[in-house]
Structure 1
């Protein structure tokens, strides 16, 4: 007899995919690991669950209900981890405020969400007072600190004191897995920040897919049950790439460093035995500079995202015992889409493969589309915009219908990143659409020129932008930060590029016309090079820093 569909049994449990299930899995597995807090406290996973319940109880006692927004302005802390769980678990929505934005931009994001409550670190109390006009009068303020208490007359209390005095538990209940769990604002090249949102279902599926992908990584390139995890990506930025959720699901030892101070990060890594982190290239370079050329920091695997991983940085990290592995994603994608990996039996150089964006993690579909929207993913040597589908992609920008339509044109999420695909399936990011330079009828990758520039021992940092040119359309201009006591020369870079051009590996149009020396590259709130600011400076042969062009 053929099987037939039947109604669920009266007491069958539907098991909604809620963030609460991630924490419960760690509790059921009886993890014996500990959480090391930004203020030096230590506790296990049962204590973490109790603190999550107490935080929810405190918020509820001060009027936070399902559907309300709770905003957090904090460094990477144990408190942030607790908010990652407590706020969504009670049916409210967590807003992770980018504290590196300008006050006007932060004010805009708070007006956009109208939080019912805010958890604010003492370091941001002065900012909060300036932001008062943007915050609803009845918004509840909870202060927190890592040694120096905040002084704020209208705060309802200090985080730790409120948790200690509050109810010991909170009655978490099930609700629709499609309920919104988190929101934050992503910045672009123009206009004010745009809000993105993610549901419980999306975040749980993202966590499971990233965890599965990590489990498939070769030795020392993934995250496993013996790993000791410390984030070095702001927890306000795309859920710290989703890794705190995965680290909690796996019951790992977690170390939260607070504000990023290179010496403190290195001390925690050494003292707590940290083996797994993630950051942007700028932070990795800061760590290497702080450690010095003779320091050994391994074993330490660091996932690099946000911008391209330069070959020189990968090699410098390897010399100190750090295995750097590139990943790829964006704010709208929750964020992880791909991870690079270099198999033990792969004959290709590891320092090349681990710099690529890599291969899609489970449930991610990636295509490359040309200017006409045609799929060129299978064509040899073709480049196109990365478009993507996955079950955790943001579905729209709230209050921005036009931007939402452009994001999802044709039923695929458009990343604005140009890439090619290697024969093994690896995605190789070539450039941002807005950063690709159209010169002499050819597309030239600014990222490729930057990587070559960074091989110059006289250059510490590099960025390439296109300058308008009446004859060729655009021409590359290189901004470079010299190493101390060094003076980079444009001809040196051209000499290095010549054999690559002759061999057909590099466009003959790629050699920059100008080299502009600069004291520091401008950066966005999440540490990426701000090329918009560099383009504004293109008309100046003599920079404000007093350095010049050659």
Structure 2
């Protein structure tokens, strides 16, 4: 059957969904709004627009053209925000380099992405100097100079960032082009194999921005992001576009605060002095901030914080609520741009008691508009939405990566059956809330029952003496696998391993969890291994502890 296509005037403007169009609204509504860097540098949206044009002119002078890849290694800054816009707006590709990877992995990702130009902060000169001879594709190095001492290096810099902008014109005619043009590339930080490249188009980023803005603005009260907020990311800008929030913040024209390198005392000072009201981070970062001495004197009652990159433990949620923080969970992954769901309380359900508040805020959340999210069994059949049945989470949205860069085999696995496979296991309750119970690779099967390591971690986190916890599965001849709890205690806390075990046993006796979920081994440790973006590295924890614990696991 023929499609009935509409007719348009020859003079009509088709308005492609391009990143450059995100700047129209803030420049019209809030051109004099502030963008702040470390409390030291301040510029307006109008000045940022000029700097975006200067950056594009400077990069053009150094050989950037449509389709070029420009890699960036910087801390969270106004410069990074300028790169978020200028590079894709030229028709080039922005590669956000994960500076926390090993030098060999950094070299791999830059080469694999085919970056021709590399912008590098002076703090990372030792890394680039060490791998410079391994960088096969980079033709031009540009320094972001914030050092007090240059230090010895052999990097042939063609320019310095601020000098390049000062020598460039403030006008640049950013062209129209196909909205499906690739805009960004970055690399996943999985615990196995080489990092995998994901990529997103202008269309995908614009749709993610608009939908994320709508979802965050939709609650009747609480868990919101709006034009009156002051935004500061505490998720690295190299990681999934800082969850896409800088694009949303810019579209709204809000005051933005960029902290540079994460130093707890500086972050708390910026929250206080700049009036920050909205941030996002992984749970380990918020835990660190709440433990920071400087945080005790800061009023956090206006601060809204989204926790992602892993489950939000009930203990951390309670600690944040006690400080007045409007805390809630968000869910997504590198492959999903990333936003898929937010744990926002539905209108009419606000007057919940503290236990119910914590329970809802720690859920994985309600899917965003345009997110087609399912939980399926091994045959791809939908599981019941009863809060008990579980399955793998598979999704479709307009902003999912369409594959892994230059990796057809992994791309086919990712999109098997036409849905993106998250490798997360979850359930959906009758109210529509998603709850992740584990990663597919981390799920524990004990005594014929599936055991959620995330649920056990959350329950252990409620113990007043517990600072951090990770639950891993180890082989057991009798039960198949048994959960083992690795616990970091709070400073000065005196808690025995038996006390932690009995704390969990109480939840089993009350019927909240299965008896198979009670760890037979609890081990007090000094610290827990984490990935480059602050997630618990359970693969490394299993490798480090399994050999010593396996012999003790059988009851």
Query: Which aligned pairs between 1:54-203 and structure 2 lie closer than 5 A?
Result: 54-136=54-136, 139-146=139-146, 148=148, 150=150, 154-203=156-205
TM-score, normalization by structure 1:
0.95
Alpha-carbon RMSD = 1.9
Query: Which aligned pairs between 1:247-266 and structure 2 lie closer than 5 A?
Result: 247-266=249-268
Query: Which aligned pairs between 1:80-479 and structure 2 lie closer than 5 A?
Result: 80-136=80-136, 139-146=139-146, 148=148, 150=150, 154-290=156-292, 291-293=294-296, 295-343=298-346, 345-346=348-349, 348=352, 349-379=356-386, 381-479=388-486
Q: Which runs of 4+ in 1 moved over 6 A?
A: none
Change (3 A) 1:149 1:212: farther
Structure 1 residue 487 displacement after superposition:
4.2
Structure 1 residue 485 displacement after superposition:
3.3
1:48 match: 48
Structure 1 residue 530 displacement after superposition:
0.4
SS in 2 for 1:156: strand
Change (3 A) 1:521 1:218: farther
TM-score, normalization by structure 2:
0.94
Structure 1 residue 137 displacement after superposition:
6.5
SS in 2 for 1:538: helix
Structure 1 stretch displaced more, 35-44 or 125-134: 35-44
Structure 1 residue 400 displacement after superposition:
1.5
Distance in 1 between the 2:211 and 2:142 partners? 34
Distance in 2 between the 1:190 and 1:538 partners? 18
Distance in 2 between the 1:508 and 1:97 partners? 45
SS in 2 for 1:13: coil
Distance in 2 between the 1:149 and 1:391 partners? 46
Distance in 1 between the 2:437 and 2:387 partners? 15
SS in 1 for 2:236: coil
SS in 1 for 2:545: coil
Change (3 A) 1:15 1:458: same
Contact 1:489 1:515 in 2 (8 A): no
Structure 1 residue 8 displacement after superposition:
2.0
Contact 1:369 1:387 in 2 (8 A): yes
Structure 1 residue 102 displacement after superposition:
0.6
Gaps of 5+ in 2: 550-554
Query: Which aligned pairs between 1:500-511 and structure 2 lie closer than 5 A?
Result: 500-511=507-518
Output one character per residue of 1:386-419: Cα deviation in whole Å (capped at 9) or x when no partner.
Answer: 1100000001112222211111111111111111
Contact 1:238 1:331 in 2 (8 A): yes
Structure 1 stretch displaced more, 175-184 or 28-37: 28-37
Output one character per residue of 1:460-487: Cα deviation in whole Å (capped at 9) or x when no partner.
Answer: 1110111011111101111111223334
Structure 1 stretch displaced more, 237-246 or 185-194: 185-194
Structure 1 stretch displaced more, 368-377 or 305-314: 368-377
Structure 1 residue 243 displacement after superposition:
0.3
Distance in 2 between the 1:295 and 1:271 partners? 10
* Residue correspondences, number: 541
Distance in 1 between the 2:546 and 2:135 partners? 40
Contact 1:70 1:115 in 2 (8 A): yes
Distance in 1 between the 2:32 and 2:20 partners? 19
Contact 2:377 2:383 in 1 (8 A): yes
Specify which of 513, 522, 536 is matched with residue 515 of structure 1.
Answer: 522
Distance in 1 between the 2:138 and 2:378 partners? 50
Structure 1 residue 150 displacement after superposition:
4.4
Distance in 1 between the 2:199 and 2:214 partners? 24
